[in-house]
Structure 1
Amino acid sequence: MAQKLDVCIRGDGMVGRTLALLLARQRLRVGLVTSAPKTNDDVRAYSLNKASRDLLTELRCWPDAQHATAVQDMRVWGDNGGFVHFASPTPEGLSWIVDVPVLEAQLAEAVRYQSDIACLTAPAPAALTVVCEGRHSSTRDELGVNFETLPYQQHAVAARVRGSVPHRQQALQWFHQGSHGLEILALLPLGGAQGDSAALVWSLPPERASAMLALDAPAFASALQDASHGVLGQLELTSERAMWPLQLARAERWIGTFADGSAWVLAGDAAHNIHPLAGLGLNLGLADAAALAHVLKSRESADYWRSVGDRHLLRRYERARKADMLPTWVACDSLQRLFAHPHASVQALRNWGMSGFDSLAPLKRWAMQQAMQ
């Protein structure tokens, strides 16, 4: 691309690619800095809500039903009798469990066929640089942005498993206060409506996570089967296992300028991290992309005279996203802390609260609507 770029996006993950496609629709000249190709053994899966599905469907990047399994029921167990059940109010589902490699491949193909997106091997000058490099963003560090981090005493262990019992489109989650600390186990349905596979996300104290990784495949599957109370029958590990530390984090500043006067903005995991217990991580990153694209689109009407790097436009994005995300940050962090508290009276209170919440239909409906959007 010989002409100077309007926007340079550093990071070609799912948030970066989605943003590139949204901005190319506005006829902006976009450069997307690509990274080394990923291996084929990515075991991640994401729970995406209706807002994310609508966005990706609009971009013609939504996977087929085999790789985007609709969740019809979500069942959550506390650590001493607490239980909550969410049933989908529509045949569409509460959310969708999406196979990450498939979604990444569809976004990559869409980028290849978009003439206004240039794939770059290094950052290039642009009126606006969007940093989508993930939680370990080097650009954010070079800019001196304070990344406020609160480490949890937990690591996530992820893998793929197959059960002898079909998942029946159920997302299953258990909270358990073990001898080493809080454990949160989630089994998310994969393979379509009739599937028997699941994505595992097991949040464990660091030493327990390391011990689980050290087990051979049959021993790991047996431990997982016990922890999930055999709900999916006999389990078989079908992939390698991955592990990473969990944290709550957010950047103090999301916008700024380089020495040459051009603007920069943060999005996705470069701007915020959250505990996976509610399955909202990628949804929040895609919401960043949609919000930034919406703000820049205002240049087509009332703000036609502003540039893509205009500070007033970018401040709108920063204020809107911080305000929208604050309740989510507080809720997820509070839940994690509530279940991590070891005192028996707190344990009794949280399990009583779960069961009480399960009996309040109007409150459950409201909570589901918020999560779906």
Structure 2
Amino acid sequence: MAQKLDVCIRGDGMVGRTLALLLARQKLRVGLVTSPPKTTQDVRAYSLNSASRDLLSELRCWPDALHATPVQHMRVWGDDGGFTHFESPTPEGLTWIVDVPVLEAQLAEAVRYQAEITSLTAAEPAALTVVCEGRASATRDELGVNFEVLPYQQHAVAARVRSSTPHRQQALQWFHHGAQGLEILALLPLGGAQGDTASLVWSLPPERTKDMLALSADAFGIALENASNGALGQIELTSERAMWPLQLAHADRWTGNFADGSAWALAGDAAHNIHPLAGLGLNLGLADVAELANVLKAREAKDYWRSVGDRYFMRRYERARKADMVPTWLACDGLQRLFAHPNTGVQALRNWGMNGFNSLAPVKAWAMQQAMG
């Protein structure tokens, strides 16, 4: 039977929808497998860099200023006097904290009005199938791909909060080594430049996670005030609390072929997971689909005779993204392990390093450019 689709995308999250829009612009026939609507409140927010902003702006899906808050300052405290501060070199900001439900809605609206994209309830045959199903991808498991997982002894607790002091476009982060292990608290500014709301991501040991989720809303707010040293004044919980286990993971193969010869590729969390401490998760998934779209765009010139699932394109995509991912994996995992180490000598060394880094302007400027994309 002749294939009606050029590309079938399994997963209609932010990564899958972005890819669908990119490929539809190349006049490819795209099928997007949709999921049932969420039944719980989505409290997530992501830190997006300039590359992600440019990509989403090009698709006319970048949220307005109220839902994409520029970060002008990033302040990070260690667990024993360590401190570093990043200040944006431009009024645009270091990164942008984007409200996930708003971004998802804008991507869904753009998909709805794109004639080249067909919404599907189940996967259909295509020259190329791209798997964007997230970290628990069923298709990846069916393909027999080895997904190497290194669990961290931490869970992320996420929520929305309101503070008595405006956030002044600051992203704040604290590392603390408590009795049960490493804790990382991040408060990310929401609601625009003058806002007083924030996205909370609190990475905690499993037992501490249970304790925090068992607290009343008022008690949870007080615990946050204490953990953040009152930096934003009184804190009020304004949403449900979400929780998920943290891990470092990556697939050994990102591309391959089905038994019928058609191609498949992994993207986003189906291909890799990292710790949220650096705020890179969605940026990496968007970089995956941007690279895949760029690789396939070569068909419009000299490689027009190749299928979208040609092994030549798949190899180029996999090599490029794996090469870009390795430094990120090493840096994020290394930082998590450094702060998780309980030895007092290591503790002193990491806090000394933070203070030393804070005083090295050229090194800080380089690090900011890398983070800003």
* TM-score normalised to structure 1 length: 0.99
Post-superposition offset of 1:313? 0.8
Aligned to 2:197: 197
2:269 paired with 1:269: yes
Contact 2:166 2:194 in 1 (8 A): yes
Runs of 4+ deviating beyond 4 Å: none
Q: Deviations over 1:47-96 (max 9, x none)?
A: 00000000000000000000000000000000001001000000000000
2:336 corresponds to 1:336: yes
Q: What whole-Å deviation, never above 9, does each CA across 1:161-189 have from its counterpart, x for those lacking one?
A: 00000000000000000000000000000
User: Relative to structure 1, is the Cα distance of residues 310 and 3 closer, same or farther in structure 2, using a 3 angstrom cutoff?
Assistant: closer
Contact 1:298-1:304 at 8 Å conserved across structures: yes
Contact 1:135 1:270 (8 Å CA) reproduced: yes
- Work out whether residues 167 and 195 of structure 1, in 8 Å CA contact, stay in contact via their aligned partners in 2: yes
What are the residue-to-residue correspondences of 1:103-252 with 2, within 5 Å?
A: 103-252=103-252
Q: 1:305, CA displacement in angstroms? A: 1.6
Question: Aligned pairs, how many?
Answer: 372
Query: 1:337-366: CA deviations, max 9, x gaps?
Result: 000000000000000000000101111111
How many Å separate the matches in 1 of 2:299 and 2:359?
A: 48
SS at match of 2:64: coil
RMSD over aligned Cα atoms? 0.8
C-alpha separation in 2, matches of 1:132 and 1:58: 21
- Which residue number in structure 1 is paired with residue 279 of structure 2? 279
Could you tell me which residue of structure 1 aligns to residue 359 of structure 2? Answer: 359
C-alpha contact 1:183 1:205 (8 A) present in aligned 2: yes
Q: Secondary structure of 2:291's match? A: helix
The 5-angstrom pairing of residues 26-65 of structure 1 reads: 26-39=26-39, 41-65=41-65
Letter paired with 1:259: A
> Aligned-pair distance for 1:152?
0.1
Equivalent AA in structure 2 for residue 93 of structure 1: G
1:40, 1:101 within 8 Å by CA — same for their partners in 2? Answer: no
1:13 aligns with 2:13: yes
* Residue 288 of structure 2: aligned partner: 288
* SS of alignment partner, residue 355 of structure 2: helix
Deviation of 1:303 after TM superposition, in Å, equals 1.5
Which deviates further from its counterpart, 199-208 or 295-304? 295-304
CA contact (8 A) 1:185 1:203 kept: yes
- 8 Å Cα contact 1:250/1:272 also seen in 2: yes
CA shift digits 1:201-260 (9 cap, x unpaired)? 000001101110011100111001100000000000000000000000000000011111
8 A contact 1:7–1:28 mirrored in 2: yes
Deviation at 1:39, TM superposition (A): 3.3
- Alpha-carbon displacement from aligned partner over 1:81-138 (angstroms, at most 9, x marks no partner): 1001000000000000000000000000000000000000000000000000000000
Q: Distance in 2 between matches of 1:274 and 1:302?
A: 37
Bigger mean CA offset, 157-166 vs 34-43: 34-43
Q: What code does the residue aligned with 1:98 have?
A: V
SS at match of 1:265: strand
1:249-305, Cα deviation, whole Å (9 max, x unpaired): 000000011111100000000000000000000000000010000000001112122
Quick one: distance in 1 between partners of 2:99 and 2:225?
22
The answer to whether structure 1 residue 94 and structure 2 residue 94 are counterparts is yes
Q: Which residue identity lines up with residue 275 of structure 1 in the other structure?
A: H
Instruction: Write the distance in 1 (CA, Å) between the matches of 2:28 and 2:367.
Output: 38
**Whole-Å Cα distance in 1 between the matches of residues 161 and 35 of structure 2?**
29
The TM-score with structure 2 as length reference comes to 0.99
Q: What code does the residue aligned with 2:20 have?
A: A
How far apart, in 2, do the equivalents of 1:64 and 1:234 lie? 28
| SS, match of residue 247 in structure 1 | strand
- The one-letter code sitting in structure 1 at the alignment partner of 2:59 is L
Partners of 2:192 and 2:165 in 1: CA distance? 14
Contact 1:154/1:206 (8 A) holds in 2: yes
Q: Which amino acid aligns with 1:5?
A: L
Match of 1:259 in 2: 259
1:306 positional shift: 1.1
CA contact (8 A) 2:3 2:125 kept: no
Residue in 2 that maps onto 1:22: 22
